[in-house]
Amino acid sequence: MMKCLYTHLFKCLVIIICFWASVQQASAQAENDAIMIPKNYLCPGVMYSTSDWTNYWEGTFKRSNGNIGTLNTKMYSVMATYGITNNLIATVNVPYVTTNASAGTLEGQKGLQDISLNLKWRGLRLKSGKNTFSLLASVTGSIPLTNYEADFDPLALGSHSKNFTGRLIVDYNRGKYFITGSGAYMTRSNITIDRTSYYTTQLIYSNQVELPNMSDYNLRTGYRSKYFIAELVGDISTSLGGFDIRKNDMPFPSNRMNMTSAGINLRYRLKSLYNLEFTAGDDYVVKGRNVGQSNMVHGGITYIFSLSKKADQVSYKN
Amino acid sequence: MKKYIHNNIAILLLVVTSVFYSSCKKDIIDRTSLYPSLSPANIDLNADTWKPVLITDPSVFIVAAPDAITSPAYVADLNEIKGYQRSLTSDQRAIIKYWSAGAVLRWNEIMRDLVAKHNVAPYQNLDGTYPAPSSANPFAYPQFPFSNPPYSARAYAYVSAAEYDALIAAYHFKKQYNRPAPYKNDATVQALVPKSDLPSYPSEDAVISGAAVEMMKLLFPTEIDYIEQKAAEQKVYRIMAGANVRGELDAGESLGKQVADVFAARARTDKAGAAIGTPAYWAQLQTQTAAKGEQYWISLENPKRPPMLPLFTKVKPFLFDTLTVVALRPGPPNSTKSDAFKKENDEVLYYSQHATRANQDLVAFWADGIGTYTPPGHWNAIAADEFVKQNYSEVRWARNFALLNMAEMDAAIVCWDTKYFYFNPRPTQMNSAIKTLTGIPNFPSYSSGHSNFSGAAATILTYLLPDRGSKFTDMAQQAALSRLYGAIHTRSDINVGLVTGNEVGQYAVQRAQADGAGLGN
């Protein structure tokens, strides 16, 4: 009955959330799309992204900064997705991140960032003629792999928090066209910084910092055939708390970081060698608050294969 | 089977979520909220004989004789206490708990908060110049003040010293009028703070807030609302706690203000107002350094920002005269053309390129840059954590903070004199490959400000708390090294800065040895 070929593949880089450009977390297996892979398939891959911003928002005030110039963040990720069942897949992702400011004196950072584990479960799938409707739930946990310095924005590799994201995904497919919408809630743990006091809207005497939780809404739509996906992606990510950077002040991990981004995403699987998938895309921050107006270009290669002898056929469809 | 798996997955996800959520979202506990109620081991009843900083004769201040404790006015004041105590809310109890840690301590914290809030450098104009804060128009952007390290060092010193002198004057009147605390006059008044044998007219808490508020109006004019709100809260705290009647608070506040006026008059004429210098002076610093054959300092900010408070060097110190400032100036740094200079810069480059996580930690811990309470504020926080353990009387709290902060202010003056006399470039200016682990300050390199502040602070704190051994000097060493590891300073900058800071600190020690207070406890 459910003998469909849930397929998948990897997705490219999707930004779960970009905090500054430096905190971009990319997920191989997209935790916010509706694509699955069949049971007992393994899909390892590598991906790369590079992101730049020159302008950023201090609160709502948009500016550039001669002491930063252009801030670049590069991310090199290794990831793997495994089909536990035809309706449940798990993805592990390990990113290595570098940051660099083209002006000013602050030193760029580099290192392993946060390992993440995503479980995506398809709970419902209704098919009628050319129409398919699916409901999915996805959870993602991430923990820092190294003791990188979070209190070094905007050059920090990440926020160094342990994050947990729960997401509900709705997908509607008609023929070769689809639309996927999802909403997520992310909790972020407190972090420990190297100093014993810090100023938010008041001085706090602690080395613990409470990071605001976040919400995220994602909409993607476009063309989806067996071997090709071309989609437009819109994303709104909002801090549920935090404070604004004051004029000419330094940023801080518990700032209220909001961003609205738009992007395009392509995924292509060779017909002759369908195990191989190429992804590429671009993502641009249209509007933000206490974040950089980044443009990110990303690309990746994955290779999927079955661990069992008798394997289902893999494709993007269904 | 499939359904079974699905159900279990759903439960698993729920459990993982709740475990994760509960284990990671903990309330942040501010350590200053844990300070116990102040219960002085020694009330220092002889503090009226201690040597004040500026005032000479406490009896010149006006503190009217208190009402007799049998008078209707006093009885009415007692009834006000009883009225509060009949129905204290949890908010009011929280206010009592907060302030009971000590008035000098809490006002010092309020100061640190304001310093951090106002420690943001002005944003540039469209033409690439920078606006300057104006005390005449404090609310206009950039708000007055920009509480950078020299400004804040001076602010901490004036407030601390004014509180100290005001308390000495208060002790004079306390002994003169010798009125016991409300709970000693009326058994139905509860003492919600530790009882004290110190005469309660005028109130020492109100003397402290009167002095602090009056000084802070001058130093943080945009914060008057906030400051007065805190003072009003503190006043009500004393009444709710049964520790003072209103008349004692009014008399204390008035005395505090009178003493603060003496300090405010000094502050208005201590030359800090002209410390920013002029474009002509900024240019002159370059030409006179070039004339010596040395590379002069250039701002590393973009657009280039004028040097921070170059004429702070002329500010009138507390612990010595202006001739001593020049006498304390260390010898010249390595010539910018010398091999020694290059060698030291290469060492900085090494630390820039070999930043260990431990070094980053140290750099961040001591950075005390933009948006912080500055290095002097950090040493106030360090001192406060130690003083809390000592159960000092309020007057000893004030005296020790005054000693610390006069040392910090004078260290700022001597350090700035050194910096602008030599106008020495930062390592990164000489070699742009030297990237820094924290923000680079906008003033000359030699000698290190952090090292001067830390040396001075460690010297006076070690004298005040000899049982701490080398704790403070070790910390000062770490603070200084953090500037080398952070690629902000050369080794000479920090070593010389520590020596000069220690010398300034010795002046505070000499004062402490002779002020009649002894080591206490």
Number of Cβ within a 10 Å radius of residue B350: 12
Phi, psi angles (nearest 5°) of residue B75: -60, -40
Mean pLDDT of A28-50: 89
Q: What is the DSSP string of chain A?
A: -------------EEEE-STTTT-EEESS-TTS-----TTEEEEEEEEEEEEES-EEETTEEE--TTT-SEEEEEEEEEEEEEEETTEEEEEEEEEEEEEESSSSBPP-EEE-EEEEEEEEEEEEEEETTEEEEEEEEEEEEEESS---SSSTTT-S-----EEEEEEEEEEEETTEEEEEEEEEEEE--EE-SSS-EESSSEE-SSEEPPPPEEEEEEEEEEE-SSEEEEEEEEEEEESS-BPPPTTPPP-TTB--EEEEEEEEEEEE-STTTTEEEEEEEEEEEEEESSB--EEEEEEEEE-EESSSS-PPP-S--
Residues B335 and B483 in one domain: yes
Q: Which amino acid is at B408?
A: E
Contacts of A192 in chain B (CB under 8 A): none
Would you call A194 an interface residue with chain B, using a CB distance cutoff of 8 Å? yes
Q: Do B364 and A206 touch (CB under 8 A)?
A: no
Packing angle, helices B224-240 and B246-268, rounded to 10: 150
- Whether B8 is covered by a domain: the verdict is no
Closest CA of chain B from A299, distance in Å = 30
Closest CA to B491 of B296, B294, B346: B346
- Whether B13 is covered by a domain: the verdict is no
Closest CA to B475 of B496, B492, B498, B493: B498
- Whether B257 is covered by a domain: the verdict is yes
Q: Which residue has the tokens 């993982």?
A: B16
Q: Give tens-digit pLDDT for A63-93.
A: 999 999 999 999 999 999 999 999 999 999 9
Tell me the pLDDT band of A163, cut-offs 50, 70 and 90. Answer: very high
Query: How many whole angstroms separate alpha carbon B194 and alpha carbon B205?
Result: 14
- Name A302's bridge partners: A45, A277
Residues B341 and B402 in one domain: yes
Provide the token pair at B43.
Answer: 């009330």
Question: What 8-state DSSP symbol labels residue B372?
Answer: S
Q: Do B13 and A119 touch (CB under 8 A)?
A: yes
Mean pLDDT of A186-198: 97
- Whether B15 is covered by a domain: the verdict is no
Chain B, 23 to 62: residues with Cβ < 8 Å from chain A are: 23-32
Half-sphere exposure of B128 (CA within 13 A, CB side): 5
Query: How many whole angstroms separate alpha carbon A278 and alpha carbon A302?
Result: 7
Residues B215 and B309 in one domain: no
Cα dist from B213 to B136, B209, B307, whole Å: 19, 6, 31
Residues B454 and B322 in one domain: yes
Q: Give tens-digit pLDDT for B191-224.
A: 999 999 999 999 999 999 999 999 999 999 999 9
Q: Give the number of domains in chain B.
A: 2
**Peptide bond connecting B202 to the previous residue in cis, omega within 30 degrees of 0:** yes
Half-sphere exposure of B396 (CA within 13 A, CB side): 23
What is the predicted ipTM?
0.95
Q: Among A162, A209, A250, select the one facing B371 at the smallest CB separation.
A: A250
Residues B243 and B116 in one domain: yes
Tell me the pLDDT band of A50, cut-offs 50, 70 and 90. Answer: very high
User: Under a CB-based contact definition with an 8 Å cutoff, are residues B506 and B459 in contact?
Assistant: yes
Contacts of B487 in chain A (CB under 8 A): 107
Closest CA of chain A from B112, distance in Å = 8
pLDDT of A12: 28
Q: Tell me the fold of A14-306.
A: Porin (2.40.160)
Higher per-residue confidence, B51 vs A12 = B51
- Whether B293 is covered by a domain: the verdict is no
pLDDT of A20: 31
- Least confident piece of the model among A16-30, A140-154, B133-147, B255-269: A16-30
Number of Cβ within a 10 Å radius of residue B61: 20
Residues B378 and B502 in one domain: yes
Q: Do B487 and A107 touch (CB under 8 A)?
A: yes
- Whether B108 is covered by a domain: the verdict is yes
Residues 6+ apart with CB under 8 A from A272: none
Would you call B327 an interface residue with chain A, using a CB distance cutoff of 8 Å? no
Q: Do A66 and B303 touch (CB under 8 A)?
A: yes
pLDDT of B304: 98
- Range list of H helices, B354-490: 357-367, 374-388, 394-422, 427-430, 449-464, 471-485
Number of CB pairs, chain A paired with chain B, less than 8 A apart? 138
Residues B261 and B307 in one domain: no
Residue A1 has pLDDT above 60, yes or no: no
Contacts of A202 in chain B (CB under 8 A): 113
Would you call B15 an interface residue with chain A, using a CB distance cutoff of 8 Å? no
Q: What's the whole-model pTM score?
A: 0.94
- Name A167's bridge partners: A138, A184
The region, left, alpha or beta by phi > 0 then psi within -120 to 50, assigned to residue B374 is left
Closest CA of chain B from A110, distance in Å = 11
Q: Which residue has the tokens 């404090």?
A: B138
User: Under a CB-based contact definition with an 8 Å cutoff, are residues B153 and B161 in contact?
Assistant: no
Question: What 8-state DSSP symbol labels residue B278?
Answer: -
Domain end marker among B268, B287, B320: B268
- Whether B346 is covered by a domain: the verdict is yes
Residue B470 sits in which domain range? 299-514
User: Under a CB-based contact definition with an 8 Å cutoff, are residues A22 and A15 in contact?
Assistant: no
Chain A, 42 to 81: residues with Cβ < 8 Å from chain B are: 63, 66-67
Residues B210 and B330 in one domain: no
pLDDT of A241: 97
Report the CATH number that the domain containing residue B361 is assigned in CATH.
1.10.606.20
User: Under a CB-based contact definition with an 8 Å cutoff, are residues B133 and B271 in contact?
Assistant: no
Query: How many whole angstroms separate alpha carbon A278 and alpha carbon A10?
Result: 9
First to last CA, chain A: 13
Cα dist from B207 to B39, B51, B106, B173, B228, whole Å: 18, 18, 14, 11, 14
- Name B455's bridge partners: none
Mean pLDDT of A41-49: 97
- Name A289's bridge partners: A258
Residues B350 and B440 in one domain: yes
Residues B244 and B336 in one domain: no
User: Under a CB-based contact definition with an 8 Å cutoff, are residues B465 and B459 in contact?
Assistant: no
pLDDT of A274: 83
Residues B264 and B312 in one domain: no
Residue of B7, B20, B440 best to disrupt the A interface, most CBs of A under 10 A? B20
Query: How many whole angstroms separate alpha carbon A6 and alpha carbon A86?
Result: 6
Phi, psi angles (nearest 5°) of residue B384: -60, -45
Q: Quote the radius of gyration of chain A (alpha carbons, Å).
A: 20
Residue of B nearest to A58 (CA): B123
Question: What 8-state DSSP symbol labels residue B442?
Answer: S
Residue of A63, A205, A208, A290 best to disrupt the B interface, most CBs of B under 10 A? A205
Residue A26 has pLDDT above 70, yes or no: no
Residues of chain B with pLDDT under 70: 1-25, 521
Contacts of A210 in chain B (CB under 8 A): 25, 27-28
Contacts of B302 in chain A (CB under 8 A): 66-67, 103-104
Would you call A141 an interface residue with chain B, using a CB distance cutoff of 8 Å? yes
Residues B432 and B306 in one domain: yes
Closest CA of chain A from B124, distance in Å = 9
pLDDT of A5: 30
Tell me the pLDDT band of A16, cut-offs 50, 70 and 90. Answer: very low
Contacts of B31 in chain A (CB under 8 A): 196, 205-206
Question: What 8-state DSSP symbol labels residue B269?
Answer: T
Closest CA of chain A from B78, distance in Å = 36
Packing angle, helices B72-86 and B246-268, rounded to 10: 100
- Relative to beta strand A88-101, strand A71-85 is antiparallel
